[in-house]
Chain A
């Protein structure tokens, strides 16, 4: 060993340990046991495939890694439970489907996920840490023979940092152990400096990534007199007219063209038909004028409003028939009805439209049953089955003493009773206050059915003596 040293250059690198090479895993296992029994602990084996029993043969102690996993997993469980409890029950309590704020069953999936996440990440990083990784190079790689560790050779390694390391003794022990080759591994004396070209490349890349930012910064902080650079000129300046501009193409000079009289654009029937709206839109302006006096809003560009409304009604089969039934209502009440509701409505800042005062659907048993079903499915949870605003959701919210909970309106309020059917329909469609609109859940016919049912509820809860059918009055009064 000493003569070996003398032959090489004077700055002989330090010994890093001894590496023995074996032809099969049984020789390796035997040798490992010998090395272990000689008291060496800083040893390792390198094999092309996992060798059963190598841990025991090398005397490797069970890893502490599982403890990291266990502790991290327990931390994950605790963090997840505390976090969800704090968020849902303390910091931002919010009723979700009527469950208690601290709903432990709902916390379990997230808890499971965080437990696994914490456990898995900690295991990976602790494994890297315990193995001293990442490490870019190891002196054992300097020996080209070692490449066969991934192919067909088995290597045993004794580290020079072992407590009992003695270079000659180790060499002797390994030679005795049936190794086909024993070689000393020396500390890697190649320069530890990072090669110049790598540094240059990294620096260049960093500089290049700074360029776009620098350009943006420059643009934002400088002024220029020249006009913008048009990359795609014909996209920036297209041969078309923008809305709200003038043209010489049409006699009236407007770019936007009004619909041809007597037509309704696809999908716009619902925007214009009283059946869908609950009010007659053509009457709106007239009613709104007293509210917004001096409003310069253009009512209509159409030459003949009445004509168009009639045409619209005839254009579609279903609403037309509905319209027929409510025709009487539409003709007269537009002027008469708002008078009654106007003071209240105006006071509350509510829309003041020409509400339909009669149901545009035939009020029959079938419609009533439909209304009852939809009311009980959609409305009763808040408004209550009797319509008194005492539904289960409301009861629960009141029990929780939620300061921000407003009890739903009782449908038997004087105010609601006085509302025309169109107004109730409008509320169902668009919602009011905390109540959301039901246009997405209920078709117009179903909404009208609910209106009918609400009317029936109001009638039933506020019955007067004259509501009792003739002939049964006396019997009813007797008890």
Chain B
């Protein structure tokens, strides 16, 4: 079987890998610059306002990268769960994305430290210590939203994600040497339990990390919303990575047009799924029209955020929906690379829309610049993590028993 595998170039250029330290430095500097911009853009009377903006910006851009990795982790597990053959040649890239999760755990530390050791409530308004005259609805949630219990939960979420990501990467890597098919069977067996734990941790993680920035508000579909956005951005990142690798002369024969079409179909599907979930959440709250539920949307319908909302409807749903509908577009690598970049941009807008709008957070040009700089910083860090993770690792699982299937795979008309 192995003889059927075309002899592709599977390792990254050494030049790229050398960039990693530079990228880490650039990323950290960008994040710090963003902190400075936020600090001085806030009013001089109330310096915590700037810090508040920075932490929101940090969280949004942090989740931007984290969501791609979480999407990758789910993709790896669900391919094993479904015993999918077609994806064998692109799964390694997803495994590598997911395996950057330990570093993302590290980058959550600033927020965790802030929650544990301060009680200013700059990011999570519930984190102000007891008896601070919170609204009754928030007060009643304080037994759950409590710094130590919050920390414990976050540790559990990251533990689940990191253990899964590590298992799937390490085992797949072992198979590169041994070609042992038992490994595939073992990973298949583990995928079910891990997906259940993943679903729970992603949902509650979304509630804790993101939704509790507005603790009075609640939406049971919030975790699913983040999941939809994660999968969508992951497929965009996957398409873009494949495209870049092929541009640089890697995996030219192992990833075929058929794979592009299927990755694009998944991306298309999750564009629709995102629209469905986002609209479902809105429709129910709009219909019910209950103040405690609609307040979240009210924040998003003033101070210019209403245009961001309309932009999301257009750019996160309608335009890419129509744009990637055609088979001819999906089989065109350059076109799909464009749409992948497009999706990755609107994904940022989506996270900004989820986390930033709040009455205590002003909107100014300086702030927008700060968010963009923070975004650049996080993405640079993401690139650095990815390149470090890849190292000498081949970007395709060369001895995966499904690989011949993946190469012979055809989508059909």
Contact = CB atoms under 8 A, between A and B. Distances in A.
A62 B327 CA distance: 10
Interface of A: 50, 52-53, 55, 60, 62-63, 66, 70, 97-98, 105-106, 108-109
Nearest to B413: A55
B287 A63 contact: no
6 contacts: A52-B408, A52-B410, A53-B410, A70-B325, A97-B289, A109-B283
Which interface residue of B289, B325, B408, B413 has the most chain A CB atoms within 10 A?
B413
Given A52-B412, A97-B287, 13 more contacts: A50-B412, A55-B413, A63-B413, A66-B326, A66-B327, A70-B325, A97-B289, A105-B279, A105-B282, A105-B283, A105-B286, A108-B283, A109-B283
Interface of B: 279, 282-283, 286-287, 289, 325-327, 408, 410, 412-413
A98 B413 CA distance: 50
B410 A62 contact: no
Given A97-B289, A105-B286, A62 B413 contact: yes
Contacts of A106: 283, 287
Nearest to A63: B413
Contacts, number: 26
Nearest to B282: A105
Nearest to A108: B279
Contacts of A108: 279, 283
Contacts of B283: 105-106, 108-109
A349 to B, nearest CB: 38
B410 to A, nearest CB: 4
Contacts of A50: 412
Contacts of B413: 55, 60, 62-63
Nearest to B410: A52
Nearest to B289: A97
B61 to A, nearest CB: 30
B276 to A, nearest CB: 8
A63 B410 CA distance: 18
Contacts of A55: 413
Nearest to A103: B286
A393 to B, nearest CB: 13
Contacts of A60: 413
B49 to A, nearest CB: 34
Contacts of A66: 326-327
B249 to A, nearest CB: 27
A309 to B, nearest CB: 47
A62 B325 CA distance: 15
A109 B282 CA distance: 12
A346 to B, nearest CB: 43
Nearest to A53: B410
Contacts of B325: 70
A160 B410 CA distance: 32
A109 B325 CA distance: 21
A65 to B, nearest CB: 10
A242 B287 CA distance: 52
A203 B141 CA distance: 75
Contacts of B279: 105, 108
B269 to A, nearest CB: 15
Contacts of B412: 50, 52
Contacts of A98: 289
A253 B406 CA distance: 94
A53 B326 CA distance: 20
A-B interface, 7 closest residue pairs, ranked by CB to CB distance from nearest: A52-B410, A105-B286, A55-B413, A105-B283, A108-B279, A53-B410, A105-B282
A204 to B, nearest CB: 46
Nearest to B409: A52
A66 B325 CA distance: 10
Nearest to B280: A109
A53 B409 CA distance: 11
B262 to A, nearest CB: 14
A101 to B, nearest CB: 15
B312 to A, nearest CB: 15
A105 B279 CA distance: 8
A245 to B, nearest CB: 55
Contacts of B327: 62, 66
Contacts of B410: 52-53
Nearest to B325: A70
A50 B410 CA distance: 11
A124 to B, nearest CB: 17
A66 B286 CA distance: 35
B314 to A, nearest CB: 14
B301 to A, nearest CB: 13
A109 B284 CA distance: 12
Contacts of B286: 105
Contacts of A63: 413
Nearest to B326: A66
A222 B350 CA distance: 76
A72 to B, nearest CB: 14
B9 to A, nearest CB: 27
A62 B412 CA distance: 11
Nearest to A60: B413
B42 to A, nearest CB: 35
Nearest to A70: B325
A47 to B, nearest CB: 13
Nearest to B258: A52
Contacts of A52: 408, 410, 412
A60 B413 CA distance: 10
B283 to A, nearest CB: 5
A55 B289 CA distance: 54
B411 to A, nearest CB: 9
A155 to B, nearest CB: 20
A439 to B, nearest CB: 26
B113 to A, nearest CB: 41
A52 B413 CA distance: 9
A77 to B, nearest CB: 11
A307 B325 CA distance: 83
B413 to A, nearest CB: 5
A62 B287 CA distance: 44
A263 B281 CA distance: 56
A98 B410 CA distance: 54
A139 B287 CA distance: 60
Contacts of A109: 283
Contacts of B408: 52
A68 to B, nearest CB: 14
Nearest to A109: B283
A345 B408 CA distance: 89
A97 B290 CA distance: 12
B359 to A, nearest CB: 24
A283 B279 CA distance: 59
A55 B408 CA distance: 16
A60 B103 CA distance: 51
B53 to A, nearest CB: 31
A78 B234 CA distance: 33
A377 to B, nearest CB: 13
Nearest to A65: B413
A80 to B, nearest CB: 15
Nearest to B285: A105
Which interface residue of A52, A53, A62 has the most chain B CB atoms within 10 A?
A52
B340 to A, nearest CB: 23
A106 B412 CA distance: 38
Contacts of A105: 279, 282-283, 286-287
A123 B116 CA distance: 58
B274 to A, nearest CB: 14
B277 to A, nearest CB: 13
Nearest to A62: B413
B167 to A, nearest CB: 34
A53 B408 CA distance: 11
Nearest to B283: A105
Contacts of B282: 105
